[in-house]
Amino acid sequence: MSKKRTKYTSAFKTKLVLELLQNES
């Protein structure tokens, strides 16, 4: 279960980064 949570957190961070990049441009 912890493995699944790590994957979810990773995807969440990636989404945040992508949104920040879009805001910059």
pTM over 0.85, yes/no: no
What's the confidence (pLDDT) of residue 18? 98
In this prediction, residue 25 carries a pLDDT of: 77
pLDDT at 23: 93
pLDDT of residue 5: 92
Residue range 2-25, pLDDT digits in tens: 889 999 999 999 999 999 999 987
CA–CA separation, 22 vs 12, rounded Å?
Answer: 16
Sign, CA dihedral 17-18-22-25, equals positive
- Residue 1 predicted with pLDDT over 80: no
- Return the pLDDT at 13: 97
